[in-house]
Structure 1
Amino acid sequence: MAPAEHDVDASATHLYFTDVHNRRLRTVDFDTGVITTIAGGGPDDPGDGGPATCATFSTHPMRVRLDAAGHIFVTDAHQNRVRRIDAQTRIITTVAGNGDEAYRGDGGPATEAALTVPHDARFDRAGNLYIADTRANRVRKVDAATGMITTLAGTGEAGYAGDGGPAVAAQLDGPLALDIDTAGNIYIIDTDALRLRRVDAATGLITTVAGCGDMGPTESGIPAVEAKFGRPRDVKLIADDCLYLLDGNNASLMRIDLATGLVHVIAGCNVSGFAGDGGPAADAQMGHPYSMAIDPAGNLYFKDCTNRRIRKIDAATGIMSTFAGNGERGWTGDGGPALDASLGIG
């Protein structure tokens, strides 16, 4: 079975993640370590306008993101929507997508537009929402002031082309994940092109930051544009000059220094497995890592899909540990320690 696709995000008090096979959004309290379900598990009706715990997600609620106000956004991929859970009321609504699997609606309200299996959504500092419209091979933008949707990058034709030119005239191939720096530059995991690409906020031009397009393991200390990837899955900026990249098939976490352009493997050893808890992350094994989050202290959390766990790399020590999940596939453990819970993530 292919690894599940899902995401994590962190606030000052909780880690949030989509429990994909259970069609739920769950959270772990950093202080107590207790796991709870906060959305999903409802009847067949999607549940918009009601409590999030009564809502239904598709078979793949892909990624969860928090905005500056603490509202929770979930890309409900196979319902072709981006959904919002209010931080105070916990009411769920749709903010983009009408449920149709198609590409249309640019220039109109985002809620009336069609998306094609969106996998990620991110906010810039102005509150604009960017959506990885994955099977449409595009990145789309929802204007914070008007709610109107447009295309930022991609022609819709799957491929790798257009570097150095306008992003809207470039080809993307399965854009899977996004991140945005403080200047508004957008980083795109162009997963089937085996590359990380960047759209300049000032010029709208697209370039490649990492990846040569060849599949395979990469080495530390080489230029990022020469790196091989197995299957890039997520990108996370830790500063405007440094980012992390998760490579699923190579079972590794990389750091890319944007000032020098060099890539370094900092976790995983290009061997899929489960080993290394309690030791240096560089010596640990993981299985198809998919997505990651960073808490305010700089600790990194990622989904270890094959092993059905969420694992943690301590910012101060570099030590790897398991944060949630007992390794069994299922839906158990709400109200108890996250380490004892069964997760539907692999």
Structure 2
Amino acid sequence: MKNRNSIISIAMLCLAATILTAGIGLASCTNALSGSTQQSESSGDDFTVSVFLDGGGENAAGAKSLAFDNVAVTAVTVLVFNASGERIGSGSLEKNVSSWGGKISVSESGSAVFQAVAFDSSSKLLYVGRITKTLLGANDMVTVPLGAGELEGGSIQGYVPTLSLAVNIFAGNPSVAGTGTDALPGLFINPYQITTDGKYLYVADMGSNNIRRVEIATQIVTTFAGDVAGAAGVRNDGGIGNLTRFNSPRGITTDGTYLYVADYANHAIRRITISSRLVESYAGTLGATAGATEAAAGSAALFNGPSGITTDGVNLYVADTTNNKIRKIVIGATDDTRAVSTIAGLTGAVGTAGWLDGAGAGALFSGPQGIATDGTNLYIADTGNNRIRQVKIADGATSTLAGSGATGSLDAETGINATFYGPSGITTDGAYLYIADSTNHKIRRVEIASPHSVTTLAGTGSAGSTNGVGTAAAFYGPMGITTDGLNLFVSDYSGYSIRKVQ
């Protein structure tokens, strides 16, 4: 991915009630958010944060237009959370750089996490940042330093988040599985993989045969594509949004313009145009008998239960699970330019499940499910082998970064000495890999740099949906994981929910 070193900051000010704009509500800043003078939350006091840039007020000369790396920043979203990862801000969320008028009210004691994301005019994410601080009273200021972030492989990379490891339920209800109309918090049935463009989460909700969208700023869930009643099938391919059908979709990724879906039981790759919600077949023979055929034209190729997918903007890469191989699809404008080949694993036939590192065609996998990329390498959650694998995009050379192959949950300084149990989801911020270690009910982290140290970030190791910090929190079969550059978002398969690790 590109390396951009520009840093910007967004400052926030706790203002006196007398200068608040109408419509936001009066707020008192006479008390600190924490400290000996803090009144209890039940007192009804609000705290208002006014957004402006680089120490200038709303009308400062530098606050009206902004450009970094020759790309204009036109809007900034600011969110405020408590130490448990729960939203405590209210009011207008997204501010246009040309009109800084809105405020965010905070009405909870204790320190707060201030999170900011900067976008260009096409809603492309450019910068992200966060800081934890306690406001100390009227006219106190919080500065959030922002670093460059970039969408790559279905996650935001380039900014390594400092995580408090607070885990909460971001969307869904662990006690209720279901499809659903637009809702907050919405319902899921066995959410599988998950991707983000920094503004929305997109979830392959396997049990409801739908693609769901969650707006990060508001946590509102919508059914983006697929039958709202959850019917499976291939109906109306080439149709719009909810008029189409999927069959147990598992994998999903985005390049910001399209979503690409690994439609598991239809043995095909589908593409959704985000702006119009147009759904169409992209590669594989939709609904056909499973196979492993390579082809110069996408529709002539065959897949066998594809579960994971990622993109570097040039090609799609698919974890073709039951074929025990990693496939490559050239991104092309027409079917005859979408050649499908195998980048790692046995070429042209169903691969034998096994574990072997080496040159592309000589490598062996066992039911690989999750796949991510940083633009140079592919990273594979090799589920049946209990290992994390790396595949070089340039030549398909395959190696093992972490996992001895034994079943377990052992952390280790040297990656190959660690153990996993059915790792299914994987994402990267460019420096670390984050693993949804499904049968261990844990979230693990692998450092990309040698010796690939493995640590457990969150999860008790027992199935559950308890919120908490780090290993005090419980997951229930986490399957997918992505990062918006600031948080980890986990699709908790048997917990029917999307969890956030802040």
What's the TM-score once normalised by structure 2's chain length? 0.57
Tell me the equivalent position of 1:327: none
Tell me the equivalent position of 1:139: 326
- Counterpart of 2:245 in 1: which secondary structure? coil
Tell me the equivalent position of 2:475: 286
**2:455 pairs with 264, 267, 272, which one?**
264
Q: Report the number of matched residues.
A: 302
The aligned amino acid for 1:84 is: R
The aligned amino acid for 1:258 is: I
2:501 and 2:234 map into 1 onto residues whose CA distance is 39
Tell me the equivalent position of 2:441: 251
1:49 aligns with 2:274: no
TM-fit CA distance, 1:66? 1.1
1:153 aligns with 2:344: yes
Provide, for residues 188-220 of structure 1, a one-character-per-residue CA deviation record: whole Å limited to 9, x for no partner.
11111111111123443111111111112213x
Asked whether the equivalents of residues 101 and 117 of structure 1 are also in contact (C-alpha less than 8 Å), the reply is no
1:198 aligns with 2:198: no
The aligned amino acid for 2:244 is: A
**1:187 pairs with 379, 382, 390, which one?**
379
2:415 and 2:326 map into 1 onto residues whose CA distance is 23
**2:425 pairs with 229, 234, 241, which one?**
234
Asked whether the equivalents of residues 410 and 420 of structure 2 are also in contact (C-alpha less than 8 Å), the reply is yes
2:234 and 2:265 map into 1 onto residues whose CA distance is 14
2:364 and 2:198 map into 1 onto residues whose CA distance is 37
TM-fit CA distance, 1:310? 1.0
TM-fit CA distance, 1:5? 5.8
TM-fit CA distance, 1:45? 4.5
Provide, for residues 45-91 of structure 1, a one-character-per-residue CA deviation record: whole Å limited to 9, x for no partner.
42211112101111x11122111x42111111101111111122211
- Counterpart of 2:495 in 1: which secondary structure? coil
1:84 and 1:303 map into 2 onto residues whose CA distance is 21
Tell me the equivalent position of 2:267: 80
Asked whether the equivalents of residues 10 and 294 of structure 1 are also in contact (C-alpha less than 8 Å), the reply is yes
Tell me the equivalent position of 1:21: 207
Asked whether the equivalents of residues 191 and 205 of structure 2 are also in contact (C-alpha less than 8 Å), the reply is no
Asked whether the equivalents of residues 252 and 262 of structure 2 are also in contact (C-alpha less than 8 Å), the reply is yes
**2:495 pairs with 307, 317, 320, which one?**
307
What's the TM-score once normalised by structure 1's chain length? 0.82
1:235 and 1:110 map into 2 onto residues whose CA distance is 26
TM-fit CA distance, 1:93? 0.4
2:422 and 2:293 map into 1 onto residues whose CA distance is 31
TM-fit CA distance, 1:4? 3.6
- Uncovered stretches (5+) of structure 2, i.e. residues with no partner: 1-188
The aligned amino acid for 1:189 is: A
1:64 and 1:204 map into 2 onto residues whose CA distance is 22
Tell me the equivalent position of 1:109: 297
TM-fit CA distance, 1:292? 1.0
Percent identity of paired positions between Structure 1 and Structure 2: 28
- Counterpart of 1:157 in 2: which secondary structure? coil
**1:120 pairs with 296, 308, 312, which one?**
308
Provide, for residues 97-142 of structure 1, a one-character-per-residue CA deviation record: whole Å limited to 9, x for no partner.
10323334314211211110111111114x2111111111111111
Provide, for residues 225-261 of structure 1, a one-character-per-residue CA deviation record: whole Å limited to 9, x for no partner.
111111101111111x321111111111111112232
The aligned amino acid for 2:452 is: G
TM-fit CA distance, 1:288? 0.8
Tell me the equivalent position of 2:368: 175
Tell me the equivalent position of 1:61: 249
- Counterpart of 2:471 in 1: which secondary structure? helix
Question: Closer, same or farther in 2 for the Cα pair 1:82/1:287, shift >3 Å?
Answer: same
1:202 and 1:26 map into 2 onto residues whose CA distance is 33
Asked whether the equivalents of residues 172 and 193 of structure 1 are also in contact (C-alpha less than 8 Å), the reply is yes
Tell me the equivalent position of 1:39: 225
1:202 and 1:82 map into 2 onto residues whose CA distance is 23
1:133 and 1:178 map into 2 onto residues whose CA distance is 10
1:56 and 1:204 map into 2 onto residues whose CA distance is 34
Tell me the equivalent position of 1:343: none
Moved beyond 4 Å, runs of 4+: 42-45
Query: How big is the alpha-carbon RMSD for the aligned residues of Structure 1 and Structure 2?
Result: 1.9
1:217 and 1:12 map into 2 onto residues whose CA distance is 31
- Uncovered stretches (5+) of structure 1, i.e. residues with no partner: 315-346
Q: How is 1:299-338 mapped onto 2 (pairs within 5 angstroms)? A: 299-314=487-502
Question: Closer, same or farther in 2 for the Cα pair 1:5/1:158, shift >3 Å?
Answer: farther
Question: Closer, same or farther in 2 for the Cα pair 1:104/1:181, shift >3 Å?
Answer: same
Asked whether the equivalents of residues 210 and 227 of structure 2 are also in contact (C-alpha less than 8 Å), the reply is yes
1:210 and 1:138 map into 2 onto residues whose CA distance is 18
The aligned amino acid for 1:9 is: T
- Counterpart of 1:78 in 2: which secondary structure? helix
Tell me the equivalent position of 1:333: none
